[in-house]
Structure 1
Amino acid sequence: MASLRTLPLPVLVPLVASGLVFLATVLRRLLRRQRPVYLLNYSCHLPDAERQVNLEVCEYFGLKCRRYSDDIADFMRLVYSKSGLGQETFAPPFIYSGKFEKTLAFAIQEAEEGLFAVVEQLLAKSDVSPSDISVLVVACSMFSPMPSLASMIMHRFNMRPDVKSYSVAGMGCSAGTVGIDTAARSLRSRRTPGYALVVVTENTSLNWYFGKNKHMLVTNCIFRVGSAAALVTDVPSRRPDAKYELVRTLRTHHGADDAAFNAALQMEDEEGNLGVALTKDLVRVAGAALRRHITTLGPQVLPVSEMLRYAWRVARAYAAGNSKAAAAEVPDFQRAFEHFCIHSGGKAVIDSIARLMGFGPYVVEPARSTLHRFGNTSSSLVFYELAYFEAKRRVRAGDRLWMLAFGTGFKACSNVWRALRDAAPDADNPWNGCVHRYPVPPPPPSKTHKHA
């Protein structure tokens, strides 16, 4: 203090001012710092074995319902054979009813079977009571009944009347990651820490397509039954019990572009049959959306060294006069993450992501395996992939994990997680009993026959 008093006033004033600015900056950052949000646990629905569907069941249903011509049946058989789906996915209950009609009753049955089962499993193993839930986010793109799915869960589990509930529809396969983002934002906006329950599903009963439009028939071949529930919390004392910490989220929406908006569309065909059309533009749109998405995400997650390497590669390509090669360059995201739960909505989409991002077979193995075992379960697919990592015991404390999903509209959403402990499969992990069969070996190359 005595030494400061001896300093000349022109030196002392700037020194004190700099100190005050520094303290103000630190204080502002501390006040603005968001409370950490943790993934306490999650559960994925594993339907009964009697709901398993294979090509034989699909062909039987197609013949008995008498809605499809031979040409349409051949087309769906071809799509199924190239889809990447295995023989143990799960179909909605109306497929086995013998009535061959999609009704509201079957849609509600499908929703209740999946949603109620995963919530019961999750709450039981997380030591959390329904009365502890502060935020409820329920997402289903193609089924929005009254009362809502959120109300159905509130009623079934007798939750508090002050729960902040959100029913999310029309978000497509991105609804799972969007639900996590919504839950985290809602928790952080509250004055006191709490628990948020995120429940995601898809409902295929009312959107099974009985028409002739080939763009709409594809969904019959790849969409399957699946649900997941995740419990996120910002209660500090639950950190030792949590599996992952949410590092950041990112949502980008590309609906201003006509091709992106119309890439996946719920509609009626010329004969009034309701379904979902997946256009040929879908893969291209997904690739374009991913490029724009990672342009924002990259600087937030990549190390500086990789950003510099990426800038050097782009500059070198431009200097060589190869603008196409420069535009095709992407950073190496394997320097930012150890694990990837990428969108596994279809074989073509997985191939496109792998090609664009430079991912090898090992990186996309969980996505391909999930598609093969469970099909496209829409919003819950990233949680089935996460369960695959845990079943394989690959996640270690400190590992970083990227969840990426695309949705109709067209949108992309990322959740970035950091593992808080080594992962092991829970008793209700849907991969228990079958993970030893994965990854599935690639099919042998077709034999060529030489003719004289």
Structure 2
Amino acid sequence: MDLIDLFLSLLFLLPLLHLLRAAYDRRRCYILDYECYKPGDERKLSTKFSGEIIRRNKQLGLYEYKFLLKTIVSSGIGEETYAPQMVFDGREASATLADGLVEMDEFFLESVGALLKRTGVGPAEIDLLVVNISMLSTAPSLSSRIINLYKMRDDVKVYNLAGMGCSASLIAVNVVENVFRCRKDSVALVVTSESLSPNWYMGKDRSKMLANCLFRTGGCAVILTNKAELADRAMFRLKTLVRTHHGASDDAYSCCEQKEDADGFVGVHLGKNLPKAATRAFVDNLKEIAPRILPVREILRFLAAKNLRRLRRRWSKDPAVAGRPAAINFKTGVDHFCLHTGGKAVIDAIGQSLGLSEHDVEPARMTLHRFGNTSASSLWYVLAYMEAKRRLKKGDKVFMISFGAGFKCNSCVWEVVRDLKGDNVWKGFINGYPKKNLANPFMEKFGWLHEQDDSFSLPDDYQIPD
């Protein structure tokens, strides 16, 4: 090949290389850093104080007390989770919009401020802001509140998500990812939390009382970017993200729903059909994301095992001959599992479905015990646990799985860009984890209620002793 042919070949290849580079740039989405919120120790919800809160609800009788006792004991939540200030003021029955805004401002000022300071990213450098607080919708919006607090630019692109439930943070990441495809060299701020103050349930409907037992104060701020020059500073790179929504199904739609009870108290109804709806969404989500994250050899092995079992069932009338159903080994494609802390039963079910070890589900269990279910921000506390335990090494892949009202299952995979040091919300007490004993002391203090006959009734002025 002479020099003219080589020159012509390069001229032909340059546009192609430019297109490939542009396609790569559109897919680039890095996490520069994140900050989980930890309220002060004065906001910890001890067993004794939890009993006082239950005692203050005059709607409850012995039957409801026993239900709460059983729920709290089996929830997987410990004594160091956090509640909003209005609970400690004894005003959960009369919480106002102002209480919700105070709760959000505490988180906005502490976590967002700390994140901006640590990364060196100024408010004026934020090109995109996505806020997801499901249960508090205000005017102006909470995203506008953040813009006002930090005096961001006039042309910042803003998305305010509400009512999206516990899986909303991955929806926010997906919004950022899509915007990055058409906006080069951008910086995004994702703010995810939940407002408990105006949503504390004061009735006696058991399906709505569960939320008070599981949900706790928390939040997370995340800075993402698609700037190539920041790639070396980044912590994670987004590999793929899949969203599954079964809202067209009446059963899935109604299994997790905010509504009034018969007495007019507003709460979040968690129906008995929720596990079935979650399973269906989970399976459909896995079907879509599995081919994207698993090696070809694992997919071929699974298909072969599935077809072999089908043939065995056809050849024999004995179901036992077919053996166990074929299962995918997700550990062949990912290294760590970041599970939503929806509750002990949720963690157990996901772990069993994916064939995970106790080591794999440890981050979710310990996060639930220490921080409770902090709604959409839960995933980031689990991720922070892995980081604090120095589990995350360069090149590792982290599989995030979340569930939310709708009903939704959203998942994604992050690749660790560099070895992580673990200087985060778990700092100072990570050496005390994992804890061997996760038993809640409620049974020890209030177990006598569990032994009472259901026909027994409490007098109107009765109070549970400390």
Q: TM-score, with normalisation over the residues of structure 2?
A: 0.87
**Secondary structure at the residue paired with 2:376?**
helix
CA distance in 2, matches of 1:252, 1:434: 36
* Count of residues in correspondence between the two structures: 429
CA distance in 2, matches of 1:99, 1:118: 25
**Structure 2 match to 1:235:** 227
Per-residue Cα deviation, 1:77-109 (whole angstroms, up to 9, x for no partner): 210000000110001111011334221111111
CA separation of 1:323 and 1:103: change in aligned 2, threshold 3 A = farther
Q: Is the Cα contact below 8 Å between 1:38 and 1:232 reproduced in 2?
A: yes
Match for residue 410 of structure 2? 413
CA RMSD between the two structures: 2.5
For the 8 Å contact 2:369–2:438, the answer to whether it is kept is: no
Among 85, 103, 111, the alignment partner of 2:104 is: 111
| CA distance, structure 2, for counterparts of residue 286 and residue 109 of structure 1 | 33
Distance 2:45 2:397 in 1: 35
Provide the rounded CA distance (Å) in 1 between the counterparts of 2:171 and 2:334. Answer: 20
From 210, 213, 219, give the equivalent of 2:205: 213
Contact 2:59 2:204 in 1 (8 A): no
- Map 1:7-46 → 2, pairs under 5 A: 29-33=20-24, 34-46=26-38
Equivalent position SS for 1:251: strand
Residue 394 of structure 2 is aligned to residue 401 of structure 1: no
**After the TM superposition, which residues 185-264 of structure 1 pair with which residues of structure 2 at under 5 Å, given as runs?**
185-190=178-183, 192-264=184-256
SS class of match (2:197): coil
How far apart, CA to CA, are the structure 1 residues paired with 2:108 and 2:128? 16
Alpha-carbon distance between aligned partners in 1 of 2:235 and 2:361, rounded to the nearest angstrom: 22
Matched, 1:123 2:116: yes
Q: Report the secondary structure of 1:320's partner residue.
A: helix
State the Cα distance separating 1:70 from its structure 2 match: 2.8
- Which runs of structure 2 are paired with 1:22-421 in the superposition (5 Å)? 29-33=20-24, 34-100=26-92, 101-190=94-183, 192-321=184-313, 328-421=325-418
Classify 1:201/1:326 alpha carbon distance in 2 versus 1 (closer, same or farther; 3 Å). farther
| TM-score normalised by the chain length of structure 1 | 0.90
Judging changes above 3 Å, is the alpha-carbon distance between structure 1 residues 129 and 30 closer, same or farther for their aligned structure 2 residues? closer
Q: Contact (CA 8 Å) 1:181, 1:415: kept in 2 or not?
A: no
Q: Is the alpha carbon distance of 1:443 and 1:344 closer, same or farther for their aligned partners in structure 2, counting shifts above 3 Å?
A: closer
Does the aligned pair in 1 maintain the 2:334–2:398 contact within 8 Å? yes
| Bigger relative CO (Cα 8 Å, ≥ 6 apart) | 2
Q: CA deviation at 1:215?
A: 0.3
- Tell me the secondary structure at the aligned position of residue 418 of structure 2: coil
* Residue deviations 1:118-169 (CA, integer Å, cap 9, x gap): 1001101001000000000000111111111101100000000100011101
| Alpha-carbon distance in 2 for matches of 1:261, 1:412 | 13
Give CA-to-partner distance per residue, 1:191-233, whole Å, 9 cap, x none: x311000000011111111111100000010000010000000
The Cα shift of 1:330 comes to 3.2
Looking at structure 2, the residues matched to 89 and 346 of structure 1 have their Cα atoms a distance apart, in angstroms, of 14
1:268 positional shift: 0.6
Q: Counterpart in 2 of 1:441? A: 436
Give the SS at the match of 1:72: helix
- Contact kept, 8 Å, 2:124 with 2:152, in 1: the verdict is yes
Q: Structure 1 vs Structure 2: percent identity of aligned residues?
A: 38
Q: Distance in 2 between matches of 1:328 and 1:144?
A: 45
Deviation of 1:21 after TM superposition, in Å, equals 11
Unaligned runs of 5+ in 1: 6-18, 447-452
Q: Is the 8 A contact 2:340 2:364 kept in 1?
A: yes
The C-alpha deviation readout for 1:243-263, integer Å capped at 9, x for no partner, is 111112111111122221112
Structure 1 residue 415: deviation in Å?
2.2
